[in-house]
Amino acid sequence: MSDYISLTAELREDVGKGASRRLRRLGNKVPAIIYGAEEAPVNLTLAVNELTKAMEQEAFYSQILEVVVDGKASQAVIRDLQRNPASGNVQHIDFIRISANREMQVSVPLHFMNEESCVGVRLNNGAITHNLTEVEISCLPANLPEFIEIDMEEVDAGSSIHLSDLVLPEGVVIIALTHGEDRDIPVVSVTTRRIETEEGDEASADNAAGDADAAEGDSEDTGEEEE
């Protein structure tokens, strides 16, 4: 990537849970930390307005960011992002620095293409089920994809696309697949929807009525024998 989402941060001298709560209470700053790449951790604060604008971009969560502190820029990715469960507001962000020659692990989004023309949906009454919306990969920073595309056009009803079926850029590895074949789970499936026709409904009703008549007849026969 030649262009990075850039965030300007300030050094945070006042640390601890109490200090973080005070920052959040003011509503204009978010506490953060950046670490990794054999450098010391640094406590930071980020402006809420700038952070909110950056978070509107999908790439913010999976791509390399530029964190600028006192005029010095560091390349990093998000390792952890904590939100308030009630309001959804960001409470804290962990950034991890990256090195050009060291592989990184990050989750990237999946983009499902041609769903409207999927043969299993268009011709065979299927329904698309997304089991994953992102996948964790390992690669060098230079090979980091913005997203991974999955073409749904030729997927028929009753079929699935697994992790091992994904088309990956050169140098990119799906972490789950390094742990064995049993981790090769379905990413997306096209399931067949069951449709009962009016004729089928009528046949079911007739069968039910026939069973009821037969049961009533058996009951009457039994009664006559007892007399």
- The secondary structure of 157-223 as a DSSP string is TTEEEEGGG----TT-EEGGGGG-GGG--EEEEEEEPP---HHHHHHHHHHHHHHHHHHHHHHHHHH
What is the CA 184 to chain-centroid distance, rounded? 16
* CA dist 61 → 47, 49, 65, 80, 222 (Å): 17, 17, 9, 10, 74
Lowest mean pLDDT among 130-134, 145-149, 217-221: 217-221
For all residues of the chain together, what is the average pLDDT? 86
Show the domains of the chain with their CATH numbers: 5-99 (2.40.240.10), 105-192 (2.170.120.20)
pLDDT at residue number 28: 84
> 200 or 188: whose pLDDT is higher?
188
Would you say residue 224 has pLDDT above 50? no
Lowest mean pLDDT among 126-135, 141-150, 161-170, 213-222: 213-222
pLDDT at residue number 193: 82
Q: What is the pLDDT of residues 1-48, one digit of tens each?
A: 447 899 999 998 766 666 566 666 666 889 999 999 889 999 999 999
Q: What is the pLDDT of residues 137-196, one digit of tens each?
A: 999 999 999 999 999 999 999 999 999 999 999 999 999 999 999 999 999 999 998 765
Q: What is the mean pLDDT of residues 68-97?
A: 93
Q: What is the mean pLDDT of residues 66-76?
A: 94
**Residue type at 22?**
R
Q: What is the mean pLDDT of residues 122-139?
A: 97
Can you give the pTM of this predicted structure?
Answer: 0.75
For residue 194, what are the β-bridge partners?
A: none
Question: What is the C-alpha separation between 42 and 36, in angstroms, rounded?
Answer: 10
| Strand 90-97 versus strand 29-36 pairing type | parallel
Would you say residue 85 has pLDDT above 80? yes
pLDDT at residue number 103: 95
Helix (H) or strand (E) holding 50: helix 48-55
> 68 or 89: whose pLDDT is higher?
68
- Distance between first and last Cα of the chain: 93
**At which residue do the structure tokens 């690669």 appear?**
139
Would you say residue 226 has pLDDT above 50? no
